[in-house]
Copies of this chain bind each other. A is one copy, B any other.
Amino acid sequence: MTKRTIGAKRRLNETRILEAAERVFAERGYSAASTAAIAAMAGLPKANLHYYFRTKQALYRRVIENIIAKWVETSDPIRTDADPKAALSSYIAGKIDYSRLHPHASKVFASEILHGAPTISERLSGDLKIWLDGKCRVIEGWIAAGKMARVDPRHLFFIIWAATQTYADFDVQAAALLGQRNLRAGDYQAAREMVTAMVLAACGLA
């Protein structure tokens, strides 16, 4: 065994544990998620999980950090040099895609915030606020340039997040009320079209 092989195995096991943890945390919530269940889903004995991640809290923190990183990435289309209508449409489409493709990640994040954000409250009022401030300045720049109607950029983001993430976080409710077992591709498409129409109209871009 070379050092490189050992490192590869560590990375492989860590990845499997992180994926299993994201799923179990999403389905049960932090407290009800047992390390035994996560280990079983990752195909490892429970003691091995504690070898790679000393505590449940440390494992959870790693899961959350990964999710935040992806969450921030989805806002890449919001750039000063972009066209507001195209940028907002692309942003919404990306958020809906994320809800469809990564519902577990969205749910873990939602559960964290829902119960007071104990793990990431410093980040919310720290680097994530700074990140959002920057994105809001982009919107304000578009408004100042007369490219779109005057709206409160922060509430615009809050409402876009809510309207897109609800199709991941509350997929069970939406499916049940649609008389289905799961959400289908057409449901996400209808959601994307409706959210886009509402946002563009509110921004005077329809």
Which A residues fall within an 8 A CB radius of B? 27-32, 107, 110-111, 113-117, 121, 124-125, 128-129, 132, 151-152, 154-156, 158-159, 161-163, 165-167, 169-170, 172-174, 176-179, 190-191, 194-195, 197-199, 201-202, 206
Contact = CB atoms under 8 A, between A and B. Distances in A.
Contacts of A190: 152, 155
B198 A113 contact: no
B124 A176 contact: yes
A194 B159 contact: yes
A162 B166 contact: yes
A32 B31 CA distance: 6
A25 B29 CA distance: 13
Nearest to A160: B163
A107 B117 CA distance: 13
Given A114-B111, A195-B159, A198-B199, A129 B173 contact: no
A145 B94 CA distance: 35
A198 B156 CA distance: 10
